[in-house]
Amino acid sequence: MIGLFLAAMRFQAQVVRREPDYLMSLVTIPLLTVAFLAIMGNAGRADLAPYAVMGAALMTIWATALFVSGELIDADRWEGTLEGVLAAPAPYQVAYLGRIATVTMISFLGLVESALIAWLVFGVTFPVPHAGLLVLTLACTAFSMVGTASIMAPLFVLARSARIFQNSLSYPFYLLGGTVVPVVLLPEWLRPVSNAIFLSWASDLLRDCLRAEEPVAAPARLGVIVGLGVLGFGIGHLLTRAVFKRVRENGSVGFA
Amino acid sequence: MRNTARVLRYAFASAMADLRATYTWKSWGLAWLLRMLFQVTLFAFVGKLIGDPRVVEYLVIGNSVFIIADVVMLVCASTSWERMSGTLPLLVASPAAPFTVFTGRSVQWLLDGLACSTISLLVLPQFLGVQLPLGTRLAVVPLIAVIAVSVYFFGLVLGGLALRAMAARNLIGRVGSIGLMLLTGVQVPVSFWPSPLESLAQLLPLTHGLGAVRAALGNGSASDVLRGIALEIVVGIGWALVAAFTYWRLVESGRRDGTIEFGG
């Protein structure tokens, strides 16, 4: 099982290397760091720089999951390899999780890019007082991102207007996930929605890691991020099984 | 002239067929439009994070107008679809100028963008606590339409580049769009940037038109509005000429080195 997972990870790394279009979010979205920092700098609020850097990074991670991980099953279907994946004795879900894990790991380069852009364009740097917790939170965020992306991949196979919905799940989640602006600033009635999105917990805790004060209730908040990730894995598992059952039954495995 | 009008009419029909194939009313309204409104809202909330209502207003106006540029820049992708569908050699072989065809071929984004931008400007300000008179907001819609055309020709130039570098077609469009967002006064005044970038912004579409919209919605004089929109038209004509040259070069060099079909 672990061998399959690692092989799938290696395979996806090769796919990404050969198709640079997959990395478009990594090229374009960190540029939004410049927009956020310009807005903040122009308003005399350079102190908000960590919001800009962390926000653009989280947007990159989400967008990469949406546009790359979300397309994995559908891309296999288009390329005619899905039949082979389903016919093989290896569990396909492990293979897809391995591939999603690679995409997610690559997407975290967005954080490095955003920090570099902030430094190179505006000379902005900031301390990381809780580096250990930051690394742990990033790891939990990656785990939950893989879980959430495992929902997207089968969902986009089901939806007839998959591309449109795929495009449309970017900015709503950037806002509701509190990537740049903490969810506490959103209207009260939106908060329950935000609380159900792991990204909102991750972004809050990541920003707290950049503050001098000790983050409040960090273990519990990490627990929520991981818990929502586990929920994502569960839903993704059930959805993938249901989608594959459906395409097998109606003979549309290779008919995208 | 009559032939050009006929080619444009057919290209327009093709664009509208593309639009119908891309969206249903439901998927446009519930997914695409909503996404665009969230985009404006996100930037407006950056203003709320800063805590200055003037910044919120600046961002709501800038990003509502920017939506049209963001959508219209899809012309870059839809232009490159012609090479992907294998129709580029036929366009080159036909007696009509490819530039005429490409000018009409992606106008669906003008309508899409104008609808998104107008709805954003009409609906979002009151939700985001920005006071702008409804009548003035309606009055700036024609100005936004002028911006759309000006950005369209800029996008056509980038589309011409994308036809030469197909692997980077989406990237070219996105970087072009983000470049406009950063430099043309959408998020911060153009004077925020160093003078070479500020000068570059004067040559880009959106800069002057957005200035005119801001003047119309704020306390600008009628002459500010007229001057801004006149400059936007001049910039648009400039980009239209560059676009015409780009497609002429594409065809000429493609004929010479045999890259019309396989040049991507």
**Torsion sign (Cα): B30, B36, B37, B38:** positive
* Separation of alpha carbons B42 and B174, rounded Å: 19
Of B3, B222, B236, the residue nearest B101 (C-alpha): B3
CB-based burial label for A4 (10 Å; 0-12, 13-18, 19+): middle
> Hunting for tokens 């009635």 — which residue is that?
A189
Closest residue in chain B to residue A178, using alpha carbons only: B42
CB-based burial label for A184 (10 Å; 0-12, 13-18, 19+): exposed
> Could A20 and B32 be called an inter-chain contact, meaning their C-beta atoms sit closer than 8 Å?
no
Of B43, B34, B75, the residue nearest B62 (C-alpha): B43
Range A90-98 average pLDDT: 92
Of A216, A51, A119, the residue nearest B45 (C-alpha): A51
* Separation of alpha carbons B261 and B87, rounded Å: 9
CB-based burial label for A136 (10 Å; 0-12, 13-18, 19+): middle
**Tens digits of residue pLDDT in B105-147:** 999 999 999 999 999 999 999 999 999 999 999 999 999 999 9
Cβ count near B20 (within 10 Å): 10
DSSP classification of residue A74: H
> Would you call A96 an interface residue with chain B, using a CB distance cutoff of 8 Å?
no
Residue B94: pLDDT band with limits 50, 70, 90: confident
- Nearest CA-CA distance, residue B195 and chain A, Å: 15
DSSP classification of residue B217: H
Which of 159-178 (A) contact B at CB < 8 A? 161, 164-165, 167-172, 174-175
> Could B192 and A42 be called an inter-chain contact, meaning their C-beta atoms sit closer than 8 Å?
yes
Range A129-151 average pLDDT: 97
Q: Which helix (H) or strand (E) holds A5?
A: helix A2-18
**Is A111 within 8 Å of A209 (Cβ atoms)?**
no
pLDDT (0 to 100) of residue B169: 86
ipTM: 0.92
Structure tokens belonging to residue B73: 């820049």
Cβ count near B69 (within 10 Å): 29
pTM for this predicted structure: 0.93
Q: At a CB cut-off of 8 Å and minimum separation 6, what does A17 contact?
A: none
Q: Which helix (H) or strand (E) holds B72?
A: helix B53-72
Whats the size of chain A, residue-wise? 256
pLDDT (0 to 100) of residue A160: 62
Residue A255: pLDDT band with limits 50, 70, 90: low
Of B156, B147, B151, the residue nearest B244 (C-alpha): B156
Helix, strand, coil content of chain A in percent (nearest 5): 80, 0, 20
Of B48, B53, B34, the residue nearest A181 (C-alpha): B48
pLDDT (0 to 100) of residue B261: 73
> Could A180 and B55 be called an inter-chain contact, meaning their C-beta atoms sit closer than 8 Å?
no
> Could B192 and A21 be called an inter-chain contact, meaning their C-beta atoms sit closer than 8 Å?
no
Residue A158 pLDDT more than 80? no
- Residue at A249: amino acid letter: E
- Nearest CA-CA distance, residue B32 and chain A, Å: 6
> Hunting for tokens 């400039």 — which residue is that?
B238
Chosen for mutation from A21, A22, A42 (greatest number of chain B CBs closer than 10 Å) is: A42
**Tens digits of residue pLDDT in B43-54:** 999 999 999 999
DSSP string, B123-140: HHHHHTT----HHHHHHT
DSSP, collapsed to helix, strand or coil, labels residue B53 as helix
- Nearest CA-CA distance, residue A153 and chain B, Å: 18
Range B21-44 average pLDDT: 93
> Could A36 and B46 be called an inter-chain contact, meaning their C-beta atoms sit closer than 8 Å?
yes
Of B130, B114, B137, B143, the residue nearest B228 (C-alpha): B143
> Could A38 and B31 be called an inter-chain contact, meaning their C-beta atoms sit closer than 8 Å?
no
Of B112, B120, B149, the residue nearest B137 (C-alpha): B120
Range A125-148 average pLDDT: 96
pLDDT (0 to 100) of residue B193: 97
> Would you call A135 an interface residue with chain B, using a CB distance cutoff of 8 Å?
no
The least confident of A71-80, A221-230, A234-243, B234-243 is A71-80
**Is A139 within 8 Å of A32 (Cβ atoms)?**
no
CB-based burial label for A153 (10 Å; 0-12, 13-18, 19+): buried
> Would you call A42 an interface residue with chain B, using a CB distance cutoff of 8 Å?
yes
Residue A42 pLDDT more than 90? yes
Residue B263 pLDDT more than 60? no
Angle at B63 between CA B29 and CA B104, to 5 degrees: 65
Structure tokens belonging to residue A13: 């790394």
Greater model confidence, B177 or B261: B177
> Could A40 and B46 be called an inter-chain contact, meaning their C-beta atoms sit closer than 8 Å?
yes
Rounded to 10 degrees, the C-alpha dihedral A150/A154/A155/A157 comes to 150
**Torsion sign (Cα): A104, A196, A228, A218:** positive
**Is B78 within 8 Å of B85 (Cβ atoms)?**
no
* Separation of alpha carbons B39 and B176, rounded Å: 17
Q: Choose the most confident range, by mean pLDDT, from A63-72, A197-206, A243-252, B6-15.
A: A197-206
- Nearest CA-CA distance, residue A2 and chain B, Å: 34
**Is A222 within 8 Å of A137 (Cβ atoms)?**
yes
* Separation of alpha carbons B112 and B116, rounded Å: 6
pLDDT (0 to 100) of residue A213: 95
Report the greatest alpha carbon distance in chain B. 59
pLDDT (0 to 100) of residue A165: 78
Residue A38 pLDDT more than 90? yes
pLDDT (0 to 100) of residue A161: 66
Structure tokens belonging to residue A188: 């009260």
pLDDT (0 to 100) of residue B120: 97
pLDDT (0 to 100) of residue B262: 59
DSSP, collapsed to helix, strand or coil, labels residue A211 as coil
DSSP alpha helix (H) spans, A29-91: 32-42, 49-67, 72-79, 82-87
- Nearest CA-CA distance, residue A249 and chain B, Å: 27
The mean pLDDT of chain A is 92
Range B86-100 average pLDDT: 87
Percent of all residues in chain A with a pLDDT value above 70, rounded to a whole number: 98
